[in-house]
Amino acid sequence: MPDLRLKPILALLALILAMPVVAATREENRVADAADVLDQFLRIPEKSIPPSLLARAYAVAVIPDVIKAGFVLGARRGKGIIVVRQDDNSWSNPAFIALTGGSFGWQAGVGSTDIILVFKTRNGVENIKNGKLTLGADASVSAGPVGRTAGVATDLAFEAEVMSYSRSRGLFAGVSLEGSAVTMDRDANSRFYHSTSMSPEKIFASSPNIAPDIANTFVQILTAQTRRLPTTPGMQSGTSNAPQVPVEEQAEVRTFGMPDPEE
């Protein structure tokens, strides 16, 4: 006769085993990694993307852990996300992208690089939505200025449509994105939004409520840097009633997760 004392324990184990295991999907992990990269980039104002550049950005892409490997001939591959600025100056839901490229020259080893692309115009994003954007061919790309002291005058002098920022780990100290292709990862978009008809246009125009919570975390990090900044000339400023921030105070934009100096 079985021990009656074991029945409650066995029943509890059966209930635990029957419960569904909730784990983050690959796409949710990708968004979380992108949010972490963006947060770390912006935590050190003296070495981060100038707020004045973000103020005029049409789109921001984050590609964590771009793997580059090769011996003489190199290859680069990474997956990330991109958000675009809406007419009301808010940021859209993220769409998933992939970056691929090759290089030729004296090189050996494997490296991992976090990359952020700041798109100053709509043209590059339209190419991605329509198929592929080749950096350096379809849109000019340049290493972006860093730090608050870069100032408005510095980054205004850059004529490149896309500004690139990178943080390298491994044997490669830098990154050159000339010739790299950025494409839309439509399969990832379908899985993340649970719809095969979720096009980039629908993603960018849709309500934040359709995206998992991790997408809102990424948008909040970016919004914390840009919500008090002026919009791009010609861009609608939206319906916000927030007071205008004088130019001399714009350098004090809060970094996500860090208090203002006066607090």
Confidence of residue 59 (pLDDT cuts 50, 70, 90): very high
pLDDT in tens, 27-50: 999 999 999 999 888 777 666 788
- Is there a domain that residue 10 lies in? no
Model confidence at 6, pLDDT cuts 50, 70, 90, reads low
Containing domain of residue 52, as a range? 23-231+246-251
pTM over 0.85: no
Higher pLDDT, 226 or 250: 226
Question: For residues 215 and 102, which has the higher predicted lDDT (pLDDT)?
Answer: 215
Amino acid in the structure at residue 46: E
What are the φ/ψ torsions at residue 164 (nearest 5 degrees)? -115, 140
Residue 31 counted as domain residue: yes
144 Cβ contact partners less than 8 Å away, ≥ 6 residues apart: 49, 50, 53, 118, 155, 158, 163, 164, 165
126 located within any domain: yes
Domain assignment present for residue 212? The answer is yes
Task: Please report, for residues 69, 126, 177, 181, 247, the alpha-carbon distance to residue 133 in angstroms, rounded to integers and kept in the order given.
Answer: 22, 8, 12, 5, 34
pLDDT tens-place string over residues 220-243? 999 987 765 444 433 333 333 333
**184 lies in a domain?**
yes
Q: Considering its fold, how many domains does the chain have in total?
A: 1
CA dist 224 and 227 (Å) reads 6
CA-closest candidate to residue 37, choices 221, 228, 243:
221
Does 236 fall in a domain?
no
Please, which pLDDT band fits residue 170 given cuts at 50, 70 and 90?
very low
Q: Is residue 15 assigned to a domain? A: no
Q: What is the mean pLDDT of the chain?
A: 74
168 located within any domain: yes
Instruction: Please state the rounded mean pLDDT for residues 78-87.
Output: 94
